[in-house]
Chains A and B, each alone.
Chain A
Amino acid sequence: MLRIECPLCGERPYTEYRYGGDADKRRPMHGAGGIEAWHDHLFLFDNPKGPHREFWQHVQGCRQWLLVVRDTATNIVAEVALARDARGMDRQGPGER
């Protein structure tokens, strides 16, 4: 089973987490970009067969959002970090308007 090592709680089965999708998608700023920017953001997927940077939330643990690098061809997890650290000062993170 896929297991993810939470930096705060330790290694847990993936069922403790909620999947949050591709972490490299950037939500366009409101008002910025035309319909095309929104189309690409909502509907196009990188969908790599290989390393994928993605969000997971530890809903049954510390409830932190994590940034995980998982290989989609093997499910091997290479890196896990707290999303707020990994995304740093990026103002377009999840939930930011």
Chain B
Amino acid sequence: MLRYSLSRLVRHALTDRPWSRAWREAKPRNRYDVVIIGGGGHGLATAYYLAANHGIRRVAVLERSYLGAGNVGRNTTLVRSNYMMNGSTQFFEFSLKLWEGLSQELNFNVMLSQRGQIVLAHSPAQMDGLARRGNTMLLNGIEAELLDRGQVQHLLPYLDYSPAARFPIAGGLLQRRAGTVRHDAVAWGYARAADALGVDIIEGCEVTAIMHDSSGAHGVETSRGRILADRVAISVAGHSSQVAAMAGLELPIESHLLQAFVTEPIKPFVDHVISFGAELFYISQSDKGGLVFGGHIDGFNSFTQRGQFPKVEGVAQCALALIPGMSRLKLLRHWAGIQDMTPDGAPFICRTPVRNLYFNGGWCYQGFKATPAAGWCLADTIARDEEHPLVRCYGLGRFAQGGASLDEYGHGHWTYRH
């Protein structure tokens, strides 16, 4: 692998040769130790950690489209670890710690920007809720700061503090280590580092069947032929139900559509990540200057990858209720991704009832920030054929065991409310 460094950059600037490819264009082989279905952030990270942490290098990542075509290239790039429910608190903090070293680990700048995230409260009850969340974090060794209205106003002077504000701001919870990461760089960085360790990354290769019998999974049929494998992992985000059905599994997952938006670029304005407390709405500013924001899923299951207009309106209303100064900004682009929603808003990383078949999915709104930890823990689960301690709470059987304990907001089993 060509190592990237400042001196390499300077030397390269003096030549007129293009940079070499960051990873090989691999052709599928007949057989692998592990085949990973889905070349999103999670699939690529899993391949990297299989090779880097476990020495398992005969690995293929099969992506039906191009790398980054899925949600890894469509999300709003927020990373944080302010989760309250036991299990998720520790898992997402582990992920944030991995983010903090990732650019060095991969020799690829993923542009982690720990600008801090502030979750707003608009009532005394919400302040109590945030205090509880913050205390849970502190008890787990994660820093958190409860801010009163004046402190929020000092940090975010451009919010609506007028008496006419529809949702007056009571305060907020700040996690300084939270922030954003460049999403494309995550896919590229993991792909390049995994490739350097011998992993085959195969784009344009759709899995159409999973070969399995009573002794377990043996490989996959793809648009580029049959590929045998000792172990198979599913990591396909919005298409989890479709691919799991190839092995006869029905999942606690429904696919819903989430939109995201970016405005025309402006000078530095929003220095943090802000989450509204009155509705699901969050905003940050990209390095190019666009305000990047998003809200709720569209509200009915869909694979169209094309959002409905009323959500555009609703999200814009949230933006203006929070930051009136945005009223004259133009929307530059908006897009959608297919999200794998679950009955408790929490994910799955686990073995399945089919031997040698592993599942990672159900990430709802939160899979980007989970990318390093999901890859790490899924790789470990595959290598040892046993769930990594951090993901024992994320099994497929938890609902049958009465486990509602990961539901952060107590919404109940309606997938479209998480």
Interface residues of A (CB under 8 A from B): 1-2, 13-15, 19, 21, 35-36, 39-40, 42-49, 52, 54, 72-75
Contacts and interface: CB of A to CB of B under 8 A. Distances in A.
A48 B239 CA distance: 10
A39 B253 CA distance: 13
B353 interface: no
Contacts, number: 63
B252 A43 contact: yes
Contacts of A73: 303-304
Interface stretch (B51-59, B157-165, B202-210, B294-302): B294-302
Interface residues of B, number: 26
- Please give me the 9 A-B residue pairs with the lowest Cβ-Cβ distance, nearest first: A47-B241, A45-B254, A43-B399, A43-B252, A19-B300, A49-B303, A39-B400, A73-B303, A47-B254
Nearest to A50: B303
A14 B304 CA distance: 16
A60 to B, nearest CB: 13
B77 interface: no
B90 interface: no
B18 interface: no
Given A45-B301, A47-B253, A74-B304, 19 more contacts: A2-B308, A13-B310, A14-B300, A19-B416, A42-B399, A42-B413, A43-B252, A43-B399, A44-B251, A45-B241, A45-B253, A45-B254, A46-B250, A47-B241, A47-B255, A48-B241, A75-B302, A75-B304, A75-B306
A80 B306 CA distance: 22
Given A19-B299, A36-B400, A45 B308 contact: no
29 contacts: A1-B308, A1-B310, A14-B300, A14-B310, A19-B299, A19-B416, A21-B414, A39-B400, A42-B343, A42-B399, A42-B413, A43-B343, A43-B399, A43-B413, A44-B250, A45-B241, A45-B253, A46-B241, A47-B241, A47-B301, A49-B242, A49-B255, A49-B303, A52-B301, A72-B255, A72-B302, A73-B303, A74-B304, A75-B306
